[in-house]
Homo-oligomer: A and B are copies of this chain.
Amino acid sequence: MRRSTIEWVDGAVEIIDQTALPVRTVVRRLSTVDELVAAIQTLAVRGAPALGVAGAFGVALAARQYRGDALTEAVLRLRTARPTAVNLARGVARAADRLADGPEAVLQEALAVRDEEIASSAAMAARGADLVTSLCGPSPRLLTHCNTGGLAAVVGGTALGVVAELHRRGALGGVVASETRPLLQGARLTAWELDQLGIAYQVAVDSAGPFLMAQGMVDAVILGADRICANGDVVNKVGTYAHALGAQRAGIPFLVVAPESTVDTETPSGADVKIEDRDAEEVLSFNGQRTAPAGAAAVNPAFDITPHDLVTAIVTDRRTISRQS
């Protein structure tokens, strides 16, 4: 069985470096807060559940590395390493609440965050698979966006965990993985995970998804969330909204799978969320090769907002929230 995406090993954090996949499987050891923050910002570790664990482990590192103002500052750097995902800030806050009790108490809390994410993945997989079968029958063809598998969590994952569970049950008709520009989490990471799981799949460019739905080639869209607002608006990888519009027009379910920790009741709606605008070079280059002319500019929102009326159901580890229709 494959190792965890993120783990605490002998006083440091070890991650599978997601920037090296699918070409190489590299385990990186992160011994300092700076190393962990850099790994988060370069997306070597990513995905809402994994970021929650990374944040908690980061505070455990900070508690061993710093004291006083330097510690406070390190916790702030961890919390703000990426602005959109609520899990990161939440994982940091949970572990930071134990700072007064010393490094070991912080670590125990971080390990609890990890264990809860593992249990949460299993609960979502079962609940989500039941829902998909009830909505789409015994052999659904699913489209998923970005990466929401074990690599986005500790093991298992969210939406891709549901896909894997359906496969285990013999109740999966097919998978389309959208490539997820600019960083290709779908083509690189989801494809790699599906390959490891022995599940047949097809990669599609992001903009093909809505057309494949219109052509009757997809029975439901299933993906994750970086934040779920109090009104049900879903903040997730850019491209989620376009796929939701496609699902609505095609009349197929649009399903969001995310741990309860992604639900942010303090954010009233998507309009209240700061969307991370990432480096233009992510859009203008690929693997260091420039595609656009010199001097080109880009707009690069990392996430988008899917209004709640486009979401058929949200599956968490504790409940299924269905759209009022």
Query: CB-CB < 8 A to A280: which residues of B?
Result: 203
Please state if B242 and A207 are interface contacts (CB–CB under 8 Å).
yes
A293-B22 contact given A206-B206, A206-B207, CB 8 Å threshold: yes
How many subunits of this chain does the assembly comprise?
Answer: 2
Please state if A242 and B211 are interface contacts (CB–CB under 8 Å).
yes
Q: From A242, A246, A299, name the one whose CB has the most chain B CB atoms within 10 angstroms.
A: A242
CB of A195 within 8 Å of the partner chain: yes
Query: CB-CB < 8 A to A209: which residues of B?
Result: 242
Q: Please classify the interface of chain A as helix (H, G, I), strand (E, B), loop, or mixed, using the class held by over half of its residues.
A: mixed
Please state if A305 and B238 are interface contacts (CB–CB under 8 Å).
no
- Please give me the residue from chain B that is nearest to A249 by CB atom: B245
A195 CB to closest chain B CB (Å) equals 5
Contact of A292 among B187, B210, B295, B296 (CB under 8 A): B187
A111 CB to closest chain B CB (Å) equals 32
Contact of A298 among B203, B238, B305 (CB under 8 A): B203
Contact of A211 among B214, B292, B295, B304 (CB under 8 A): B304
CB of A92 within 8 Å of the partner chain: no
Q: Which of A266-300 contact B (CB under 8 A)?
A: 280, 283-284, 286-287, 289, 291-293, 295-300
Query: CB-CB < 8 A to A210: which residues of B?
Result: 241-242, 245, 304
A205-B300 contact given A191-B293, A291-B187, CB 8 Å threshold: yes
CB of A204 within 8 Å of the partner chain: yes
A203-B283 contact given A191-B293, A292-B22, A293-B195, CB 8 Å threshold: yes
A181-B181 contact given A202-B297, A211-B305, CB 8 Å threshold: yes
Query: CB-CB < 8 A to A245: which residues of B?
Result: 210, 242, 245-246, 249
Contact of A187 among B202, B284, B295, B301 (CB under 8 A): B284
CB of A17 within 8 Å of the partner chain: no
Binary contact track A208-243/B, C-beta < 8 Å → 1, others 0: 111110100100000000000000000000110111
Q: Which of A185-204 contact B (CB under 8 A)?
A: 187-188, 191-192, 195, 200-204
**A and B contact pairs by CB, cutoff 8 A, 26 listed:** A181-B181, A181-B205, A187-B283, A188-B291, A191-B293, A191-B296, A195-B296, A201-B296, A201-B297, A202-B299, A203-B284, A203-B292, A203-B296, A204-B300, A205-B239, A206-B206, A207-B238, A207-B239, A208-B239, A208-B299, A208-B301, A210-B241, A214-B305, A241-B246, A286-B286, A287-B287
The 8 closest A-B pairs by CB, nearest first: A207-B239, A211-B304, A206-B207, A245-B245, A181-B205, A22-B293, A210-B242, A203-B298
Known pairs A181-B181, A200-B297; list 4 more (Cβ under 8 Å): A181-B205, A181-B207, A208-B301, A245-B246
